[in-house]
Amino acid sequence: MFRRLRASLMRRFPWLQAQHPVALRDAHWMQQDPPRFIRRLTNPWTMLGYAAMIHGALFVLSMLVYNMMNPSVSAAMMPVLSPFLTPFGTPLATGMLASVLYWAMLIGICNHASRSIAREREAGTLGVLLLTPFPRHEVMLAKLAVVWRTWMPVLRTLTVIRLVALLIIPIAIASQQTREVSIVQALDVAGVLIFLAQPFAEAFLALGVSALAAMLARDGLWARAGAYAATFLAVGGLNGLTAGWLTFTAPTGALAGLLVPLGHWTPLVATAFPPFGRADYLVQTVALALGLVIIPILLGILALRGVNRRLALAA
């Protein structure tokens, strides 16, 4: 059944095929793999091993700081290092590595998508591609599909890490005696789906705005700079608005404000510590869905429509 569905999608959307002529052309020169360290992190077991090593190193550092002769230095650093004196140090280190992987993915998508288009414009071959029998939107989508496939292993790993991280929700529920809703209800499920969908939505946003930046820029350097700026302004702005709203309206309070640079963990924290009232929880779920999934996807679609218009002018 899965094979029939996949074959049907490939016939309906030929630009998804890895054997598409435009995709093969890009795959020939594009660096398909992320940097070596990032490739290693795409293996969840390897990431867990790195996390255990980081935990061990910080455990030793914590013990040294704890035994320092200067009490003021020890008192200042211990609140930060104390979690690594517990078994929770390895999950925290895994979360740190997942954050590195998340931002590396966004940067890599910006770099590959902008370079894929800027290279054609600089070499003067974009117009030649548009003269091929393929529709102009298919040419562009085939090129961007190569970028998506390049970073798909990272998205799969982030999904696995997030599925494991969801264990924090039943633990949080068990610690909240007055909570009205349970893990099996629809709003909890919606929060989980938002958490799992967020990396894909923001990756799609980065893909779209990077392609648009490359179509608007003069050369490859400006294309990459524009892609980085547009992506991080969009992602950071949406994360900031969402975190600011949660700070003043949700039980997470100031914790949501601290999560602005780590907005990819915001849905998990907000779902684990939701409002007690069902109406407030519904509003919070809708706000998270809009800020972290729906609006990024819409922005990515608008950016791709802008790319198509620019291609029409270039044809």
Alpha-carbon gap, residue 160 to 22, rounded angstroms: 31
Q: Are 300 and 207 in contact (CB under 8 A)?
A: yes
**Phi, psi (rounded to 5 degrees) for 233:** -70, -40
Alpha-carbon gap, residue 291 to 234, rounded angstroms: 11
Cα torsion through 116, 118, 123, 126, rounded to 10: 70
Q: In the numeric block, which tokens belong to residue 77? A: 């650093």
Q: In the numeric block, which tokens belong to residue 291? A: 């800020």
Largest CA distance in the chain: 75
Query: What pLDDT is stored for residue 83 in this prediction?
Result: 67
Instruction: Supply the pTM of this predicted model.
Output: 0.88
Query: What pLDDT is stored for residue 184 in this prediction?
Result: 41
Q: What is the pLDDT of residues 266-298, one digit of tens each?
A: 888 888 787 877 788 888 899 999 999 999 999
Alpha-carbon gap, residue 240 to 257, rounded angstroms: 8
For 183, half-sphere exposure in the C-beta direction (CA atoms, 13 angstrom radius) is 13
Distance of CA 180 to the CA centre of its chain: 31
Q: What is the pLDDT of residues 145-173, one digit of tens each?
A: 999 998 999 999 999 999 888 877 666 65
Q: In the numeric block, which tokens belong to residue 10? A: 């490939």
Tell me the residue type at 229: A
Closest CA to 10 of 202, 145, 182: 145
> Highest-confidence range of 3-17, 20-34, 169-183, 224-238, by mean pLDDT?
224-238
Q: DSSP letter at 88?
A: T
- Higher per-residue pLDDT: 42 or 272: 42
Alpha-carbon gap, residue 17 to 162, rounded angstroms: 28
Q: What is the pLDDT of residues 212-244, one digit of tens each?
A: 999 998 788 899 999 999 999 999 999 999 988
Distances (CA, A) of 276 to 132, 164, 273, 279: 59, 25, 9, 9
